[in-house]
Structure 1
Amino acid sequence: MNIFQYTRNWFVRCINSPFIFSIIFLGAAIESTLFPFTLLYFFIVALKPVFAYRFALISTIGALFGALACYHVGYSAWFEQNETYSSFARFFFDHVPGFTYESFHKIQEMYKNWGVFFIFIAAFTPIPFELATITSGIFEINIVLFIVTTIAGRGARFFLIAFLFYRFGSEIKTLAQKYLRFISIGLASTAGLVFLLIKLFN
C-alpha cells in the first residue's frame, strides 16, 4: 500500500469515525495556527452533507478556541520586558514562510487602516488566519471585538460551505468521491510538508 492509498483509507476512516465531530473541532482549532484544515473540512462536509450545519457550528467554535490561543501567544510572548523581540518572535521571523519583519510591519499598517475588518477578511478568505490571530494579540486588539469578528468571519466561511453542500449535496458528493484520490494526494503532501517543517524547526 502506497502513501496515497494509505491517506485515502485514513481519510475515509475519519469521515466514518464516531469521533468525527471531535476531529472537526480539533482541525478547526489547529487551523488558526498552521494546519490547512479547510480542505479536509470541505470534503468531509461534501461526503456527509446531512451534518453540514452541525459541522459548521463545531468548526466555528473550534476556530474561536484556536484563535484565542494564538491571540494569547501574541499578547504575552512576542516582546521581552524591554520591548525587544522575544526569541519566540525571532523564531517566527526566521522560520515561518512569509512571516518576515517587512510583512509584520505591513500587517501593522493594515490594522491601522482597516482595524478589526482585517481580522474578518483573514477569517473569511484564504489569507493565512494565523497572521491575524497572533498579530491581534501583539497589537492588543480589543478582545471582545476580536472574538465577535472571529466568530463572524469564520462562521460565515464555514456556514457558507455548509449551505452549498447541504443544498447541492448529492451532486457535489459524486464529484468528491470521484476525485478522492486527488484529495488523498493533497492531504499526503500537506502531511509531508508539516513533517518537513517540524524537522526543520527542530
Structure 2
Amino acid sequence: MEAERKASENASTLPTGLPQAAPTGPIRRLYNWMLSWAETPYGTPALFLISFAESSFFPLPPDLLQIALSVSKPRRSFFYAAVSAVGSVLGGIVGWLIGFAAWAALSSFFYNYVPGVTPERIEYVGKLYEANAFWAILAAAFTPIPYKVFTISAGVFHQYVSLETLIFASAIGRSARFFLVATCLWWFGPSVRMILERHFEWITLALFALLIGGFFAIKLLAH
C-alpha cells in the first residue's frame, strides 16, 4: 500500500507540459529515474549531465531535477541554476555541431527516437532563423519550445546562425530560465514547487510575452 501511495503522489507532480504516461510507461520511468538522483550524493553532476543532454536528445527538462535539489537545499538554489545553465549551453554547442557536421548521418536517428524532432519542425525553425536567428534561439532557450530542435537546426542552417549567436542567445535565455526557477524557490520556499512543476510552461510563456511587449513599447516611445 505504501508503494502505491508514493507512486500516486509522484504521478500528481508530473508537469502538464510533459507527455502523460502510465506509472510503468517509459516517460514515467525516466522521470522517476531522473528525480532519484536528488536523493544521492551525485545530484549535482547528474543535473549537469541531464542539462547537457537535454539540449540535443534527452526528452525531459532539467528544471525537474533542479527543483528537487533546490527544495532539499534552498540555499544552493542559485548554484543549481548555474549548473543547469552551463550544462545546457555546452549541450547546445554539441547540438549545433551535430546539425553542422553530422546531420546527414544522424537525422534518421533523431527523427525516429528523439521526441519533438521532426522534419517539419526542423524546416520551420530554419525559416525562423532566416528571419531572426537571435530571437528564435532566445525564445526557445527560455520558453518550453523544444530547445533541442533549435540547437540542431542552428547547425543545419548555419548559414543563418553562427556558433557565436547560438552561444550568446542560449546563455541569456537558459540562464534566465533556470535562475527564474531558483528565484522562485529561494523567495517562496518549497511551497512553490507544485506550482512550478505544473504551470512553469505558462509562466515562462507569459514572461517572454511581457519581455517582447516591453521591447515594442520602448521602440514606440523612441519614435
Q: Report the TM-score, using the length of structure 2 for normalisation.
A: 0.66
State the partner residue of 1:111. 129
Paired residue for 2:75, among 42, 50, 62? 50
Alignment of 1:113-192 (within 5 A): 113-140=131-158, 141-172=161-192
Letter of the aligned partner of 1:74 in structure 2?
A: G
Deviations 1:155-186 (A, max 9, x none): 0000010001001114336x59xx9xx9xxxx
State the partner residue of 2:91. 66
* Structure 1 position 150, deviation (Å): 0.8
SS in 1 for 2:57: coil
Paired residue for 1:21, among 38, 44, 50? 44
**C-alpha spacing 1:46/1:108, structure 2 compared with 1 (3 Å):** same
Unaligned ranges ≥5, structure 1: 79-85, 183-202
SS in 1 for 2:37: helix
Q: Report the TM-score, using the length of structure 1 for normalisation.
A: 0.72
| d(CA) in 1 for partners of 2:113, 2:125 | 18
Q: Establish whether residue 88 from structure 1 lines up as the match of residue 129 from structure 2.
A: no
Higher relative contact order (CA 8 A, sep 6+): 1
State the partner residue of 2:202. none
Once the two structures are overlaid, the 10-residue window that deviates more, 97-106 or 153-162, is 97-106
| d(CA) in 1 for partners of 2:34, 2:112 | 33
Runs of 4+ in 1 over 6 A off after TM superposition: 7-12
Q: Sequence identity, in percent?
A: 30
Q: Establish whether residue 34 from structure 1 lines up as the match of residue 34 from structure 2.
A: no
Letter of the aligned partner of 1:117 in structure 2?
A: W
CA RMSD of aligned residues (A): 3.0
